[in-house]
Structure 1
């Protein structure tokens, strides 16, 4: 006789990868009950992928209370995070992008600017190199210890139904066959590139199905680290006429991941002899011994779903977008999705979020997803051209060989420093057409992969400051909305009263920082829970209730016709 296991929760998350775990932790810290359904066994490792945690993600992990744990894991503390370019892993070095080891990162003050491309970041949390096999267990443990989070391993969700009050999901325990019913207010699909949730809501992926194929091998070789002629590096790009690829240090001791980039006519992962290609990339002979731990072959794509939501069901991360893993932005963009959605869901569930608050997720995140996916694809195409155009004499001795190596090294450095030191992708993106932001007519500054201009233009990231008392601005801000006051003589009572009337959680922070003058031109800046600017001005707006209704999602985007401007004046006196 069939038995059924019933669960009631506020949010059901399908998938316990980094995106689902971070989303669950954030929701729970906002007072939301969360259940995660995960098909893998508890403790079962993920694939060996995503070697980079971006600065914006580290900021999120700091707020969730797990950044220090994550930063203390991964490569050894003194292991250079550099990216090296060589004729082979054991060959001649062409150039090197210097990136500090984790022992040289600082998180309690501004990172000293040494002139290297990855030493100055406008954040309390610079990026961190750690493979997902080490990162995910830390996030899993932290989520599991967070009150309000329940994780069901070996659990598959097969289908779901929606009604006006919630979602009913049906699944089973994979090991026992026991049926499962989950009743939730909302369901979030964080179930990866083959997402069953995406398929059931009718979302379709479109874009470029194949940008490139990579024969990827995870292996153990304790002797390899000592065969190098040059200083260690987190990533070593091998460029020679026979084979080009990337070698990543996984544990900094004996485990490695090699990407062998297949050529256009090599359409099968076994089209090239794996052992031969690996030895060409490493520059080792037939006597070199290694042990294959797993084959991690993958196809680079640029695919984005045509919708991220169907009523009470949403998709995040790889479920909504797939692209070549340049700059580590698959996982990091997924976590950004999750943090955008999390505060909006919590607002709606707690009752202070208006009926349009959840419209912000797709409206804000879909354009960013498209932008980042094009950055990644275009960079991958440029790299492919470099691999296909290896100078014939790059390995030759003498002056001609030196010239070839110098030219190749400069070209590789100039091309790749942008993706490995990608401040623009971290801090430059903005939301320019959101129903949750009160715009004032000023356009947000343009940004590139590695370039951006800090700005308080609504929709931009709230610029980070180190306060005069030594704290990070982000540490001093509240978990929900924070009204930053740069001039204590400005009366903020109308905004505070309006927030109280609508139930919008708000704290006022008087900012005292020597660095504020160059970044904050207005006396007041309203920062959202995801640290994007919702509004700014030199005085409270004439209609503070209208402002609060705008940022909490009580007003539709087509507000002018409804009698409420979506773009509030930047400067308005109190009536």
Structure 2
């Protein structure tokens, strides 16, 4: 590494994609100094914009953006780019609720009463594009003081007792912690010696914008054929899956001749491509890091897990990593984190990642161009039309069933906090915008207020009635919006839960910033 040592930052983040940017915003909200190093010189790419950059944000992601005051900006960005019109499955006669391996399930079959812990006004997913997400997060990051250095890809790392030295762009930077958000081929992960294992690809996927000489030969919509799968949206947006073992992904440029050959193969037509405007490839390779932390190096997003983009789970999974990690790492840096708090990041997020990888693998099993897969696909299609089937798919795709195993017997513990509408006209999510924990007390009990204030500014306290209580009288919400404790009628065990997640009360805390 060069000996040109830069100022020390609390955290260096490798990668200025949505995950790295969201994590940077979370850390700055908690007062940490953050440097983001990004390999790409220019953040703009046509592959991030519509239609190829279309992404569906699930309920946990939408809730996270709302809790940080970013949701309206994101919605405005999506509306200005006409995002809803970009997805062919959104223009069906019935209102689509999502899909599993291209099998659509519909809102009129989803039974929301099976989720008793959700309010009637609960958030729903939205569609946007990658460039819109990055634009919103970049504005917030810059406004809060995050330093973003582009054209500075991480080249080497060296861990020390008190931090991590990072080589990038011929310069040396020093951080107390390093987080790799640098993608599936993460140099940070490899340099830290963290294993990456999973299942090899079965296919090469293609997403392209083309000009067709005879577009009438392709029928709009999704089509599963004896040789693969293709989706066509006029005038020239095409997605294809070729079960070639993933042999073409990142091996050669996607030429007109190659793209045309694959399209003819999977469509069974002699359609002609006259021009390739944009094209990219992907695979169903499904790998996960063996650990999310190695001393002072952590992983998030694609650096920790990769899988096929089917169903749009990847971005949501990575953003979930970011909001889970941010407050825990910040508390560790401040010195008020209880023992084991940072290790709970891997303990909570790794199982979520494993479930998403299996969800991705299951979709590939239904898409294989074989008689067995076609037969199974027919069965799953029938199930998706039933009330229980559609509700199950919605629960997984929307993310409303997500729950961490935090112990405790209350059904809300470990779940995302409902966005209660309070008597003063505010919502619970609005009270989480400071990035602190929160006690919401519907009973305005002096005893609970006195307990909560012992944690000072780590935990806020709100006493209010609400339009609906869901049978709960009080709850403790972590900074990431997850319920850490809930009670139907008493404040017993509150102090234990608060100490477990927020450390000792102020009078007893002994901050140690070198932790």
Higher relative contact order (CA 8 A, sep 6+): 2
1:83 alignment partner in structure 2 = 89
Instruction: Give the 3 Å change call, closer, same or farther, for CA 468–153 of structure 1 in structure 2.
Output: same
Which residue matches 1:275?
A: 260
**SS of the residue aligned with 2:200?**
strand
Deviations 1:440-464 (A, max 9, x none): 346xxxxxxxxxxxx41x2222233
Shift of 1:532: 1.0
- In 1, Cα distance between equivalents of 2:161 and 2:301: 26
For the residues of structure 2 that align with 1:116 and 1:543, how far apart are their CA atoms? 40
Q: Does residue 1:328 correspond to 2:340, yes or no?
A: no
Q: 1:218–1:73: structure 2 CA closer, same or farther, 3 Å change rule?
A: farther
Q: Which residue of 1 aligns with 2:511?
A: none
Aligned equivalent of 2:225: 240
SS in 2 for 1:491: helix
* Conserved? CA contact 1:218–1:256, under 8 Å: yes
Does 1:64 pair with 2:49? no
Query: Does structure 1 residue 524 correspond to structure 2 residue 449?
Result: no
CA 1:421–1:72 in 2, change beyond 3 Å: closer, same or farther?
Answer: farther
Q: Hey, what does 1:463 align to over in structure 2?
A: 418
Residues 30-179 of structure 1 aligned to structure 2 (within 5 Å): 30-45=30-45, 48-49=52-53, 51-74=55-78, 76=82, 79=85, 81=87, 83=89, 98-99=95-96, 115=108, 117=110, 125-144=123-142, 146-172=143-169, 179=170
Q: CA deviation at 1:529?
A: 0.5
Distance (Å, rounded) in 2 between the aligned partners of 1:470 and 1:388: 55
Please state whether the residue corresponding to 2:447 is helix, strand or coil: coil
CA distance 1:499–1:5, change in 2 (3 Å): closer
Deviations 1:332-385 (CA, angstroms, capped at 9, x unpaired): 111101111100111122232234321211111112211222222123313336
Q: Secondary structure at the match of 2:285?
A: strand
Aligned Cα RMSD in Å? 3.9
Note if contact 1:241-1:390 (Cα within 8 Å) is conserved in structure 2.
Answer: no
Between 1:157-166 and 1:299-308, the stretch displaced more is 157-166
SS across alignment from 1:244:
strand
Preserved contact between residue 84 and residue 127 of structure 2 (Cα < 8 Å): no
1:205 correspondence with 2:186: no
Question: Corresponding residue for 1:218?
Answer: 208
Q: Secondary structure at the match of 1:43?
A: coil
**Is 1:506 equivalent to 2:459 in the alignment?**
yes
Post-superposition CA distance 1:231-286 (Å, at most 9, x none): xxxxx321234542234x6xxx866241223266x855699953144257678764
Alignment of 1:372 with 2:372, yes or no, is no
Report SS of the residue matched to 2:96.
coil
Q: Take 2:465 and 2:217, find their aligned partners in 1: how far apart are those partners?
A: 53
How far apart in 2 are the matches of 1:304 and 1:127? Answer: 25
Deviations 1:83-135 (A, max 9, x none): 289xxxxxxxxx8762389xxxxxxxxxxx97364999856542122232443
- SS where residue 376 of structure 1 aligns? helix
Q: 1:51 to 1:386 in 2, by over 3 A?
A: farther
Q: Is 1:261 matched with 2:242? A: yes
Structure 1 residues 422 and 278 mapped into 2: Cα distance closer, same or farther (>3 Å)? farther
Aligned to 1:27: 27
CA spacing shift, 1:311–1:332, aligned 2, 3 Å: same
CA contact (8 A) 1:50 1:325 kept: no
Contact 1:11–1:185 (8 Å) recurs in 2: yes
- Normalised to the residue count of structure 1, the TM-score between the two structures is 0.72
Q: What displacement does 1:229 show?
A: 7.6
Distance 1:512 1:261, change over 3 A: farther
User: Contact 1:35–1:150 at 8 Å: present in 2 too?
Assistant: yes
CA distance in 2, matches of 1:147, 1:99: 38
1:481 deviates by 0.8
When residues 333 and 313 of structure 1 are mapped into structure 2, their CA distance, relative to the original with a 3 A threshold, is same
* CA apart distance, 1:410: 4.7
Helix, strand or coil: the match of 1:343?
Answer: helix
- Structure ID, larger Rg: 1
Q: Structure 1: how far apart are the matches of 2:385 and 2:308?
A: 20
2:179 to 183, 188, 202: 188
SS in 2 for 1:509: strand
Structure 1 residue runs of 5 or longer lacking an equivalent are 86-94, 102-112, 173-178, 231-235, 392-404, 443-454, 556-575
Superposed, 1:280-359 pairs within 5 Å as 286=271, 291-359=275-343
Partner of 2:344: 360
- In 2, the alpha carbon distance for the partners of 1:167 and 1:128 equals 38
CA distance in 1, matches of 2:259, 2:385: 28
When structure 1 is superposed on structure 2, of 337-346 and 48-57 the one drifting more is 48-57
